[in-house]
């Protein structure tokens, strides 16, 4: 399976790395693991720079809806995607459909993603940089 996940409870951080072609079934299994782990408030780094998927916009919307839960769900932690800018896909679509739910940004390096998560936990303002159809990104 090309999706790897580590849950660092002491840091309140989830790190997900996807490599190669990722199927809808693999993403759904990963989502179920996240829900079962009960970590909605944890910060998340999701590295999709070395992966690709064939998910439709509707499938991405359903994934976002699953993660939202129902009324009264706990607040959700910030998400930092690490992306390969020429390769648009899941990260951009997910960020677009969930950007009102929580802080979410796209980065081209793991270092920048970690730095932003640290600042977001400290209450720093969000970036105004954009790439890919208005989805925030930092380098």
Q: How many domains does the chain have?
A: 1
With contact defined as beta carbons under 8 Å apart, do 26 and 1 qualify? yes
pLDDT bin (cut points 50, 70, 90) of residue 9 is: very high
Print the domain residue range for 124: 3-138
Query: What sign has the CA pseudo-torsion 9, 10, 14, 16?
Result: negative
pLDDT, one tens digit per residue, over 37-56 is 999 889 999 999 999 888 88
pTM over 0.85: no
Report the pLDDT value the prediction gives residue 62, as an integer from 0 to 100: 87
pLDDT, one tens digit per residue, over 55-97 is 888 988 888 888 876 656 677 889 999 999 888 788 898 888 8
Residue-averaged pLDDT of the chain: 84
Domain harbouring 24, CATH code: 3.40.50
Percentage of the chain beyond pLDDT 90 is 42
């Amino acid at each position: 399976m090309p999706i790897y996940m580590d849950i660092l409870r002491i840091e309140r951080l989830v790190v997900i790395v996807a490599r190669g072609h990722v199927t809808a079934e693999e993403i759904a299994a990963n989502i179920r693991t996240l829900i079962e782990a009960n970590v909605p408030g944890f910060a998340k780094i999701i590295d999709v720079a070395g992966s690709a998927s064939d998910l439709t916009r509707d499938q991405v919307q359903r994934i976002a809806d699953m993660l939202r839960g129902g009324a009264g769900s706990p607040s959700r932690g910030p998400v930092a995607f690490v992306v390969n800018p020429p390769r648009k896909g899941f990260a951009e679509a997910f960020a677009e459909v969930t950007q009102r739910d929580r802080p979410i940004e796209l980065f081209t390096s793991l270092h920048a993603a970690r730095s932003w998560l640290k600042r977001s936990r400290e209450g720093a303002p969000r970036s105004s940089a954009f790439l890919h159809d208005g989805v925030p990104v930092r380098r």
